[in-house]
Amino acid sequence: MSFQIAHADTVNVAVASNFRGPAEVLAKHFLNHSGHHVRISAGSSGKLYAQILHGAPFDVFMSADELRPEKLEQNGLGVSGTRFSYALGQLVLWSQRKQFEGADCLAVLKLLNFDHLAIAHPITAPYGAAAKDWMQKLGLWENVRSRLVTGENIGQAFHFTASGNAALGLIAASQLINKDIPHGSCRYVVPVAEHRPIRQQAVLIERARNNNAARAFLVFLRSEQSAEIIQRYGYRLP
Amino acid sequence: MLGEGGWFPGAGPLWLSIQLAGATTLILVIVGTPLAWWLSRTRGFWRTPVEAVVAMPIVLPPTVMGFYMLILLGPAGPLGKFWLSLSGDTLSFSFAGLVIASCVYSLPFVVQPLQNAFQAVGEDSLETAATLGARPIDAFFSVVVPQSMRGYLTAAVMGFAHTLGEFGVVLMVGGNIPGRTRVISIAIYDHVESLDYAKAHLLSAILLVFAFLALLFLYFVNRPRNHV
């Protein structure tokens, strides 16, 4: 049915909050490239996963972990064989409070020189799980627990930190890649080897099995052009 | 303080919500009484604008209130800065912060029933009290308050129930801290998001039953009394 090639479709993509920025840029490029529109819904991976379980009309799921896309594949809601890693996430310890200007963010964390540390919810958000894992490995978890504030997703953790309500935040590197975002008073890029890797996977949802636009978007995600954009946002490639 | 577990899963958030609703209701009944009294008696220019301001939380999205609260309570905000200098702690993500936010959120639910009750108190009974030599404040407590008991019950139950059901504002200013800001509605949201439906069911059922009982009580108190 070659007459359908020029037909412009809309792909509904559920995106983990950390990837919202790059996903919007990718959507723009994909539109130029294919003529298909991408409609983005951002939230914690856990929330989006639960929504897909209940029949949410998403065509593609871009999770912040590999666990949930894998589960979707197993229970038949994800199309098997379409799952792949599109990025490796990067945690950053960041502050916007003037009092930490020029300070060593990691030392502030270790010395408990702060009131609140914002993280994403460790159960529903993979970045929260990675933050917890990292602090557990450093032996800091028990000490910081009483100072934790939890964002529903990494977007809220970032907003708690950027507004200065939380002194420190463990956020995604991609969230700082925006010219409107101030540099902050201190930042520490968490070594990836110190926590379980944030392997971000995408999967085609069963309802879009025959949706060519959705399949084209997944192909586009693996292109050179996409790789360049993803890296520009502070991710590494798998 | 009960932990996350307590006697049953979710007892901690439930107890926290009860404390929050109790503190908020108490403050609002105290602060709301003079405000409602003034609104029920004044004929001045400011009455209408103040009534509109009091009613605003009914129509404002919780996100709008949450957003402004986060700015107001934050370390750079006017209220947050003052609190920080006083207590050395930030107001956002604290129980005290939630009480302040809830007082704004539930204000109309307490002030409006009180105002209605006060308006129903006739001038003549106040004049009688004055003639008998009662000072205005005595007249208020000996004449107005007893006549407004239904209004007070309605205000207290509405304020309490509405605060118990608060979600959007707390989601934005609370930070989901167990024992401090993880109230029952946030706990339910959490359980649903993490697909823990058993716990979500339990807590939701508790709120459902409570909401029914609270409204049943209100309708009972305010039922029309027919003369037989």
Dump pLDDT digits (tens) for B141-161.
989 999 999 999 999 999 999
The count of other CB atoms within 10 Å of the CB of residue A228 is 11
C-alpha A62: how far from its chain's center?
8
pLDDT at B6 over 70: no
Please indicate whether, in this complex, the C-beta atoms of B70 and A163 are within 8 angstroms of each other.
yes
The enclosing domain of B130 has a CATH number of: 1.10.3720.10
CA nearest to B171, candidates A126, A117, A155, A127: A155
Q: Is B119 on the interface with A (CB under 8 A)?
A: no
Considering just the CA atoms, what is the radius of gyration of chain A in Å?
18
Does residue A237 lie in a domain region? no
pLDDT at B227: 56
Length of chain B: 228
Q: How confident is residue B3, by pLDDT bands cut at 50, 70 and 90?
A: very low
The enclosing domain of A107 has a CATH number of: 3.40.190.10
Q: Is A53 on the interface with B (CB under 8 A)?
A: yes
pLDDT at A65: 97
Q: Rounded to a whole number, what is the distance in Å from the CA of B169 to chain A's nearest CA?
A: 13
Residues of A in Cβ contact (< 8 Å) with B171: 152
Q: Enter the ipTM.
A: 0.75
Does residue A238 lie in a domain region? no
Are residues A167 and A211 located together in one domain of the fold? no
Are residues A107 and A186 located together in one domain of the fold? yes
C-alpha B95: how far from its chain's center?
14
Segments forming the whole domain that contains residue A168: 91-194
pLDDT at B226: 67
Segments forming the whole domain that contains residue B110: 11-221
pLDDT at A7: 75
Does residue A60 lie in a domain region? yes
Angle formed at CA B23 by CA B199 and CA B200, multiple of 5 degrees: 10
What total number of domains does chain B contain? 1
**pLDDT tens for each residue of A49-73:** 999 998 899 999 999 999 999 999 9
Are residues A41 and A58 located together in one domain of the fold? yes
Q: How confident is residue B175, by pLDDT bands cut at 50, 70 and 90?
A: confident
Are residues A79 and A136 located together in one domain of the fold? no
> Given strand A186-189, what is the order of strands in its sheet?
A148-151, A117-120, A168-172, A91-95, A186-189
A120 strand-pairing partners: A151
Does residue A161 lie in a domain region? yes
Are residues A148 and A203 located together in one domain of the fold? no
Q: How confident is residue B1, by pLDDT bands cut at 50, 70 and 90?
A: very low
pLDDT at A44 over 50: yes
Does residue A33 lie in a domain region? yes
Q: How confident is residue A183, by pLDDT bands cut at 50, 70 and 90?
A: confident
The count of other CB atoms within 10 Å of the CB of residue A22 is 23
- Alpha helices by DSSP H, chain A: 20-34, 45-53, 67-74, 105-110, 126-137, 141-144, 154-162, 212-221, 224-232
What is the pLDDT of chain B when averaged over all its residues? 91
Are residues A159 and A212 located together in one domain of the fold? no
